[in-house]
A and B are shown apart, each in its own frame.
Chain A
Amino acid sequence: MKFRIQAYDPAWALHAAARAAAARWHRQGLLPETQRAAIDAASPLGYYRPAWLLRVVLFFFASLGCATAVGFLFAVLPGGSSSGAVLTAGLCLSAGGFLAVLELTIAGPRPYHAGYDNALLYAALLALLGLGVQAQVAVGGADTLAGPRLGPFLLYGLVVLSAATVRYADPLAAALAFLAYMALAANLALQTAAGPALLPFVAMLAAAGAGAAVRRLARGPHYFYYRTCLRTTKALALAAFYLGGNYLVVREGNAALGHLSFAPQIPFAPLFYGLTALVPLAYLYYGLRYHDRLTLTAGLLAVAFSLFTLRYYRALLPPAVAATLAGAVLLAVAAATLRYLRTPRHGLTAAADDEAPPRFNLETLVVAQANGVAAAPAHGFAFGGGQSGGGGANGQW
């Protein structure tokens, strides 16, 4: 059998995407039922992947099993876990064992990100990263992000996590690989004298580079196999790019790096005001212009965080007034948008997609939790209708 880089059959992801697209076209009346059935028949899903709730439970039990196995291993190893060599041997054995079990499981009952295979992968990765931590502790020099000997460890972590992402297409491994990459960039920058001042720009540059890499990889042949990983990395890159230029993060981060008790004004402050204001708007524009929901959502969250940044340093209005005004503005903006998009314009519409409606009615539970009437208080209290909207009353704006 020919060796394949991907552990799971890449055809599974492709087939799942084909089925979903065919079902959508069928609902739109663009595809006759016979053809949809033919596409389904030609796209078999030969894997096991239960609903998310069960994946969580399976993950939990498999993690428990992995922990038990490691405990058992260290109990039978001679000398216990006290000596370094035994620890190294134990970690190597664990990593190898978990990877072997993972590969055999994928070949056998064919789980596909079904919870228990995720747990096996994470156990193996923990053991491999544990080896790195052990070596790091032995050589020292890594107590801060600027530590001169931290770089090789971060590089090792990046290699291990990237390899895991390439083979198993696991989004958590991809996210951790991205974080190792960002930490490595920061660590390298901080080795120079100008490092702390340049750090925001290094972070933005590194995030932009990761974003460009994601764009490029999305055109690769196995897009559907890596889709979740690419989206995860893209979301993190968008967040890192924005936060790298955010005034609050830069000012407070600068103080934290210099071990200052209060955060003084930073150099290039106007530049960071501009970035804090403009990056969210750029995200919104890009998301709407190119129909990119991830960037649009990132833009909305970034707008909220930029307003928080503003309020953090210049609280112009008391919280209750600010919440009232913000609510009124949000309602007005949404109402105007609804009116404007009554007929679709610029390729945008306010109507729901034709996707199947969600079965799980989240809004019911959210309204009950966030806006519900609190239980009637004991005697001596004023009846508190004012508690009903806790979300607006805490001065987040």
Chain B
Amino acid sequence: MFASPTERLLDNLQAKGLLAPAQAAALADYERQRPFSLHYELRALLYLGVTLLSGGLGVLIYQNLEHIGHGVVAAGIAALMAVCLAYAARRRPAFTWGTAPSPGLLPEYLLLLGCLLFLVLEGYLQAQYQLFGTRYGLAAALAAALFFGVAYAFDHRGVLSLAITALASWVGVSIAPLAAYAHNDYAALSGPAVGLGLGLGALGLWSDLTNHKRHFAFAYLSLGGNLALVALTAALFLGPGQTGVPRWVVLPVLLATCAALAWYARRTQSYLFLLMGAVFGYVAFSYLLFEVFDLIDGLALGLLYFPLTAVGVVAFLVNLKRILRIAPPTK
């Protein structure tokens, strides 16, 4: 029998005199008997199951709208939703502004399934009975209100993501990380998009700074910050002719948003937020130099500006740990 890597590591540490022989033997025993965790595999299966089931039912109900069976399907979905929500409600942890203890994987994902089925049902009622008429926003607002309530009551980050997308849908924009770049018509919607993004960002900051569901801050700030930055940048390039918002308003707000994200990144030592702030800040800063101050023409652009700023970017990266105040590893 060959020694496993961990056993060789233990031998190595023992040989250096860093572990007593009895201790090394105890650690080897622990490593041999340690159970193998299937936590993330099960999470992935549950998430995939929830997504497939709600997606499949969502299509199924539309396909059966013409047939006699749609009422049965709708009743089945409603019953399933009720079961999911009831099951999750029975295991709901007591409310706290901190992190609630997890009720287990199954209640967590059945809660998510219940919320997704609520969307399916809403869509069905609208398609069949025009429940919301042409006020589509009402459906989204209803979903957002329910999901925000559920997310806070059950301390569920997945449902919080749904709530944020529903709220954005009510405003009329897509807030999903990639859809924010591709699906929005910023000529018409940059004002609401910026307002929503900044509002969500502020909510995230409030969560973190006042310790009200601090672990929700990531969702608010990543989704809201992304939307606000994309919308502001789009407004900057589209100009007041299309968006109706003057550039002297957009540019300072954009730079301030970048600065706020960088400040928050320092606070939480987050690379993601620093990157967001730096990339959009770079774009805004370059825009300021080119268009507003008209400092640089085309030739200087290629020969000077980009090489010089590339050097700046590298210097920034090399000093990043210092910028984020991450202590260097002790030697």
Chain A interface (Cβ within 8 Å of chain B)?
14, 17-18, 21, 25, 28, 30-31, 35, 38-42, 44-46, 50-51, 53-54, 57-58, 61, 218-219, 223-224, 227, 288, 291, 293, 296-297, 300, 318-331, 333-335, 337-338, 341, 344, 347-353, 359-361, 363-377, 379, 382-393, 397
What is the minimal beta-carbon distance from A313 to any residue of chain B, in angstroms? 21
A54 engages B35 (CB within 8 Å):
no
Q: Which of A360, A373, A374, A388 contacts B54 (CB 8 A)?
A: A388
Tally of A-B residue pairs with Cβ under 8 A? 290
- Contact residue among A44, A330, A364 (Cβ-Cβ distance under 8 Å from B48): A330
Interface contact A375-B172, CB-CB below 8 Å: yes
User: B218 and A361: CB pair below 8 A?
Assistant: yes
State the Cβ distance, A288 to closest chain B Cβ, in Å. 8
**Chain B residues close to A by CB (< 8 Å):** 2, 5-6, 8-9, 12-13, 16, 18-19, 23, 26-27, 30, 33, 35-42, 44-63, 104-106, 109, 112-113, 116, 119-124, 126-127, 132, 134, 136-137, 139-140, 143, 157-158, 160-162, 164-166, 168-170, 172-179, 183-184, 218-219, 222-223, 270-272, 275, 310, 313-314, 317, 320-321, 329-331
In the complex, which of the residues A319, A376, A382 contacts B169, with contact meaning CB atoms closer than 8 Å?
A376
Contacts of B139 in A (CB 8 A): 376, 383
Contacts of A375 in B (CB 8 A): 168-169, 172-174, 179, 183-184
Question: Could you list 12 A-B pairs, sorted by A, with CB under 8 Å?
Answer: A53-B275, A324-B60, A334-B45, A359-B270, A364-B161, A364-B219, A364-B222, A370-B51, A375-B173, A376-B137, A391-B48, A392-B59
Q: Are A218 and B5 in contact, CB atoms less than 8 angstroms apart? A: yes
- Which residue of chain B has its CB nearest to the CB of A396? B52
Chain B residues with CB under 8 Å of A35's CB are 18-19
On whether the beta carbons of A392 and B6 are closer than 8 Å, the reply is no
Known: A323-B52, A327-B52. Is A57-B161 also a contact (CB below 8 A)?
A: no
Neighbouring A residues of B8 by C-beta, 8 Å: 223
Min Cβ gap B53→A in Å is 3
The B interface, classified by DSSP as helix, strand, loop or mixed, is: helix
- Using CB atoms, name the residue of chain A closest to B157: A364
By a CB distance below 8 angstroms, the chain B residues around A25 are 27, 30
Once the chains bind, are A349 and B174 in contact (CB under 8 Å)? no
Known contacts A349-B37, A363-B157: A392-B104 contact under CB 8 Å: no
Q: How far is the CB of B25 from chain A (nearest CB, A)?
A: 12
A174 to B43, CA, bound (A): 31
Is A382 in contact with B46, judged by CB distance below 8 angstroms?
Answer: no
Distance of A352 Cα from B106 Cα, bound (Å): 14
Closest residue of chain A to B113 (Cβ to Cβ) is A331
Contacts of A321 in B (CB 8 A): 56, 60
Contact B183 A372 (CB under 8 A): no
- Please determine whether A379 and B134 come into contact, CB atoms closer than 8 angstroms: yes
Pick the contact of A388: B116, B157, B172, B330 (CB < 8 A): B116
CA distance A338 to B48 in the complex (A): 16
Write the nearest CB–CB distance from B289 to chain A, whole angstroms. Answer: 21
A368 and B169 contact, Cβ closer than 8 Å, known pairs A324-B60, A383-B122, A383-B132? no
Task: Say whether B222 contacts A365, CB under 8 Å.
Answer: yes
Chain B residues near A377 (CB-CB < 8 A): 136
A15 to B27, CA, bound (A): 18
B59 to chain A, nearest CB (A): 4
Contacts of B40 in A (CB 8 A): 352
Is the pair B46, A331 in contact by a Cβ cutoff of 8 Å?
A: yes
Known contacts A57-B317, A327-B56, A330-B49; 8 additional CB pairs below 8 A are A296-B41, A320-B60, A320-B63, A344-B35, A363-B158, A372-B161, A372-B162, A389-B116
B9 close to A18 (CB less than 8 A): yes
Q: Select which of A42, A291, A386 is within 8 A of B16 by beta carbon.
A: A42
Which residue in A227, A364, A393 is a CB contact (below 8 Å) of B56?
A393
User: Nearest Cβ in chain A — how far from B9, in angstroms?
Assistant: 6
Q: Is there contact, CB below 8 Å, between B122 and A389?
A: no
Closest-CB distance, A321 to chain B (whole angstroms): 7
Residue of A with least CB distance to B272: A360
Q: Is B55 a contact partner of A374 (Cβ separation < 8 A)? A: no
Q: Is the CB of B9 within 8 A of A17?
A: yes
Least CB distance from A65 to B in Å reads: 10
Cα-based distance from A213 to B219 in the complex (angstroms):
45
In the assembled complex, the Cα of A46 lies from the Cα of B328 at a distance in Å of 12
Residues of A within 8 A of B157 (CB): 361, 363-364
CA distance A397 to B310 in the complex (A): 47
A17 nearest in chain B by CB position? B9
How far is it, in angstroms, between the C-alpha of A18 and the C-alpha of B58 when the chains are bound?
Answer: 50
The interface residues of chain A lying within 8 Å CB-to-CB of B122 are 383, 385
Task: Please report the C-alpha to C-alpha distance between residue A306 and residue B58 in the assembled complex, in whole angstroms.
Answer: 25
Nearest neighbor of A115 in chain B, beta-carbon distance: B317
- Can you name the residue of chain A whose Cβ is closest to the Cβ of B165? A372
Residues of B within 8 A of A367 (CB): 112, 158, 161-162
Chain A neighbourhood of B176, CB < 8 A = 368-369, 372
Residues of B within 8 A of A288 (CB): 36
The 7 closest A-B pairs by CB, nearest first: A385-B123, A389-B55, A392-B55, A327-B53, A330-B49, A372-B165, A324-B56
**Residue on A with the closest CB to B48?**
A330
Q: Whole-angstrom distance from the CB of B104 to the nearest CB of chain A?
A: 7
Are B18 and A38 in contact, with the CB atoms below 8 A? yes
Of B13, B177, B321, which is within 8 A of A369 by CB?
A: B177
A374 and B169: CB pair below 8 A?
Answer: yes
CB neighbours (8 Å) of A57 from chain B are 313, 317
Which A residues touch B13, using CB under 8 A?
Answer: 18, 39
Q: Given the known A-B contacts A28-B30, A372-B161, are A330 and B45 also in contact in the complex, defined by CB atoms under 8 Å?
A: yes
Instruction: Tell me the complex Cα distance, A44–B329, Å.
Output: 9
Task: Name the residue on B nearest A223 (C-beta).
Answer: B5
Query: What is the minimal beta-carbon distance from B143 to any residue of chain A, in angstroms?
Result: 6
Query: Which residues in B have their C-beta under 8 angstroms from that of A326?
Result: 49, 52, 56
